[in-house]
Structures are given as structure tokens and as C-alpha cells.
Amino acid sequence: MSEGLEEFREKLCGCEISIKRKGKGKKVLFLHGGRGAPVWLPFMEELSNKFELYVPEHPGYGQSDTPEWLDKMEDLGYFYLELIEHFKMQDIHLVGSSIGGWIAAEMCIRNTNKIKSLVLAAPAGLSLQRQYGLDPFISTDDEFTRNAFYDQKLAEGMINQEVDEAAMDLILKNKTTGARLTWKPRIYSPQMEKWLFRIRIPTLIISGSHDNICPLEQSKLFNKKIEGSQLAIIENCGHLPHVEKKDEYCDLITNFIME
């Protein structure tokens, strides 16, 4: 375990969730993608060296409870707005990856009073994903992993990792929740695009140049719809820039927050 890393459980909205926290300074809330946040990853360590980083596991994912009220991505948006209130946070820097970006956008459409800035990394949630991106519900795990990476050596290394029974149980739990939230309409919100203009805080959108899951065209659409937002394209990178291009990813976020 990383020195100084706190792992704890917190109950709100009738749901107990698992949270990791480390670091000092400006508060950063990171919302993970569909594969969850079961472990403290190197990019988290790097960001926690500069900021106070919070990494919760979404309701329905990982070690967190699955509440009865969880039906749509909008529910998670409201939940995290409640979490910010619960911890009495101010001037939060919000970072969302993939479906975490979708959740973050849903939050900021509704209320940014306590959110200082927004980073959407390979964000999901718009209709271009279903047109151009891989459908995770009809692809195998190996197909998904190969499409998630530009560097196929990294993909094969991930595929060849041994997964124990406990980890497999969490993977299946995450997939079940993902299906519950995004099966129909398939991995997008018919309503979100038209309301993105309500996001009026500093926003950075990060996309890999070769993202086959949430394609670059979708990040460009977020950039177009969120007035004043910045788009950073990481070359030779797929859907997981925090893994594949960790240093560039962390530098982009750090420089943006510190501006």
C-alpha cells in the first residue's frame, strides 16, 4: 500500500461506498471508468503528490454498495453532488474518465457552485460513441482490452495477467452495473448533449488520438458544446491515457488545475 494512503467507507444516500484518499493541497475528485478503481494506480500516486486526491468507487461498483435507487447515470451525478455537500468540500477540481467523465458532465450541467474546474478524459455519454466506438456488451474482454490500447504490447500484458476469483467477482459486478445504467439507450444520454452549454467553468477535455472506445470525434463534440473548453489530444494513445501515457496525462491535469 502507498504510504499515507487512506481507505475508508462512507455512507450517504442510503449507500455505503469505498473511498481512497491521499495527498495535500487543492482537492481533486477522480471519477473512474467502467472497469472500476479497485487499486491505487501509478497516475493516482503522481496526482496525490501535488493534490489532495479522492478516488471513490461508484455505487454499484467494486467494494461499494449497490443501492435500489440506482437506475441511470444521472443518479450518480446527483449522488456525487451530495458527496461534495457531505464532505463540505469547496473549490473541487473534478476529473472524470470514460463513464466517470459522463457522470462529471451530468454533475456540472446541474450545479457547479462548489466545482472549480472540470477535466473530461476520454468521456463517454454522447451518441457518437454508439456510432464509432466499440460496444463493450457484445465484445469479449480481450477484444475490449485490445481496442482500449494503442500500444498492443500493453494490451497483451493486461490480457495475460492472472485474475483471482475475488477480482473476477468485482469485474462481473462492475459489468452488471454498467449494463443496468447504459444498456438502453446504449452507452449514451439522449438528453445530455443539448444541456452541455450549462457547463461554464474552466474545462479541459483529454482524448487519445486512437481511442476506439470513446472516439476522438466524441471528445471534439464535447469541446464544441462546452463553450471555452480546451481539447488536448495525446498522440499514439487509446482509451486509457492515465495508463498508456501517464506522465503526459498527469502533466495536462496538473498544469490545467494550477493555471
Distance CA 61, CA 118 (A): 22
CB burial of residue 33 (10 Å; 0-12, 13-18, 19+): buried
Domain ranges of the chain: 6-258
Q: Specify the CATH class of 6-258 in words.
A: alpha beta
Q: Which three cell numbers stand for residue 84?
A: 461534495
pTM beyond 0.95, yes or no:
yes
β pairing state of 115-121 and 92-97: parallel
DSSP string across 7-39? EEEEEETTEEEEEEEE--SSEEEEE--TT---S
Whether residue 20 is predicted with pLDDT greater than 70 in this model: the reply is: yes
Residue 68: C-alpha distances to residues 90, 106, 112, 199 (Å): 29, 20, 27, 29
Compute the average pLDDT of residues 42-56. 98
What is the chain's mean pLDDT, rounded?
96
Residue 119: C-alpha distances to residues 37, 102, 255 (Å): 18, 11, 12
CB 79 within 8 A of CB 15: yes
In this predicted model, what pLDDT tens digit does every residue of 126-166 receive, in sequence order?
A: 998 767 678 888 899 999 999 999 999 999 999 999 889 99
In this predicted model, what pLDDT tens digit does every residue of 162-220 receive, in sequence order?
A: 889 999 999 999 999 999 999 999 899 999 999 999 999 999 999 999 999 999 999 99
